[in-house]
């Protein structure tokens, strides 16, 4: 890695910390509003879930492993309440303690405070869950099985889960069944359709998972098409995993930034 790359990585990390801290502050404000009965848990559940879920993937990608595991515990506790109208006071205290601890860890390197989930409410969904949760869930849509296996090998540690689809049809099916994906890598030329159909379909369904387009044979007009169809990024396949990894980190950081922006926008109105 050259000096410019190191500076870029440091700048990206510092920006991520600021955005993550902002998002945690907003989660804290939501929890305090629930505690004071200024709003209902039912109204805030999805926003809190989006906050925890996005931070979980981003923290893992930026090597905040302890923090990623920590917020995963909080996400699981939140999931256990998803059928409830109200959040019990013990859970409000639990989440506020967790948010404060994460803020201290990210900004000042303070040791995370151990969290104990309140005993009330254990959802059937969680007690019967078999499939494990991962910090970062990826989908690769590419008919090159060697590249698909390479992704699964490169992102093989416990914080990643990589699924591979060989056609656009298979990819869209996996997306519909996995709306909690953090990022999609999609080839441009696929056996059944062009990869831009994935972009079109996500846009029509208002699904906001970032898509990183890939190709070794994209023309300038293709790149313009990717931009117009809201692709998050484009990577030449020949550049390898250094570029794939950089694009993924950008996508995860951007996801956090968008949540911060959307929350600020709602406050404005």
Secondary structure of the chain in the HEC alphabet? CCHHHHHHHHHHHHHHHHHHHHHHHHHHHHHHHHHCCCCCHHHHHHHHHHHHHHHHHHHHHCCCHHHHHHHHHHHHHHHCCCCCCCCCHHHHHHHHHHHHHHHHHHHHCCCCCCCCCCCCCCCHHHHCCCCCCCCEEEEEECCCHHHHHHHHHHCCCCCEEEEEECCHHHHHHHHHHCCCCCEEEEECECCCCECHHHHHHHHHCCCCCCEEEEECCCCHHHHHHHHHCCCCEEEEHHHCHHHHHHHHHHHHHHHHHHHHHHHHHHHHC
pLDDT category of residue 159 using cuts at 50, 70 and 90: confident
The answer, yes or no, to whether residue 8 has pLDDT greater than 90, is no
HSE-CB for 249 with a 13 A CA cutoff = 20
- Determine the pLDDT at residue 4: 47
Do 106 and 148 lie in a common domain? no
Do 123 and 163 lie in a common domain? no
CA dist., res. 58 & res. 13, Å (int):
10
Do 12 and 125 lie in a common domain? yes
Range with the poorest average pLDDT among 55-64, 221-230, 236-245: 55-64
Dihedral angle over CA of 42, 46, 49, 53, nearest 10: 170
Do 16 and 54 lie in a common domain? yes
Q: Which is nearest to 148 in space by CA: 172, 133, 167?
A: 167
- Determine the pLDDT at residue 109: 86
In a domain, 110, yes or no: yes
The answer, yes or no, to whether residue 125 has pLDDT greater than 60, is no
The answer, yes or no, to whether residue 195 has pLDDT greater than 90, is yes
Domain count within the chain:
2
Distances in Å between the alpha carbon of 75 and those of 12, 71, 79, 98, 159? 25, 6, 6, 11, 15
The answer, yes or no, to whether residue 130 has pLDDT greater than 60, is no
Range of the domain at 86: 3-129
pLDDT category of residue 268 using cuts at 50, 70 and 90: low
The answer, yes or no, to whether residue 81 has pLDDT greater than 50, is yes
CATH number, position 100: 1.20.120
Do 114 and 171 lie in a common domain? no
Average pLDDT over residues 124-134: 40
The answer, yes or no, to whether residue 126 has pLDDT greater than 60, is no
Domain boundary among 72, 102, 129: 129
Domain boundary among 129, 152, 174: 129
- Determine the pLDDT at residue 144: 95
């Amino acid at each position: 890695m050259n000096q410019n790359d190191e500076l870029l990585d440091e700048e990206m990390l510092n920006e991520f910390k600021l955005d993550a801290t902002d998002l945690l502050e907003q989660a804290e404000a939501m929890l305090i509003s629930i505690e004071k009965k200024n709003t209902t848990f039912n109204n805030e559940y999805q926003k809190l879930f989006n906050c925890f879920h996005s931070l979980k993937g981003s923290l893992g990608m930026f090597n905040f492993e302890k923090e990623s595991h920590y917020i995963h515990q909080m996400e699981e506790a939140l999931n256990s309440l998803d059928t409830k109208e109200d959040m019990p006071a013990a859970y409000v205290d639990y989440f506020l303690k967790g948010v404060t601890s994460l803020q201290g860890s990210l900004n000042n390197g303070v040791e995370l405070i151990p969290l104990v989930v309140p005993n009330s409410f254990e959802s059937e969904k969680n007690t019967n869950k078999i499939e494990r949760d991962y910090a970062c869930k990826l989908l690769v849509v590419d008919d090159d099985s060697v590249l698909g296996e390479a992704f699964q090998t490169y992102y093989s540690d416990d914080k990643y889960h990589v699924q591979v689809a060989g056609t656009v049809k298979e990819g869209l099916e996996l997306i519909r069944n996995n709306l909690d994906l953090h990022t999609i890598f999609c080839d441009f030329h696929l056996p059944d359709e062009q990869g831009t159909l994935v972009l079109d379909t996500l846009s029509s369904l208002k699904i906001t998972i970032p898509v990183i387009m890939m190709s070794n044979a994209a023309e300038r007009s293709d790149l313009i098409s990717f931009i117009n169809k809201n692709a998050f990024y484009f990577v030449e396949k020949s550049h390898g995993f250094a570029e794939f990894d950089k694009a993924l980190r950008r996508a995860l950081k951007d996801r956090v930034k968008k949540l911060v922006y959307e929350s600020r926008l709602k406050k404005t109105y």
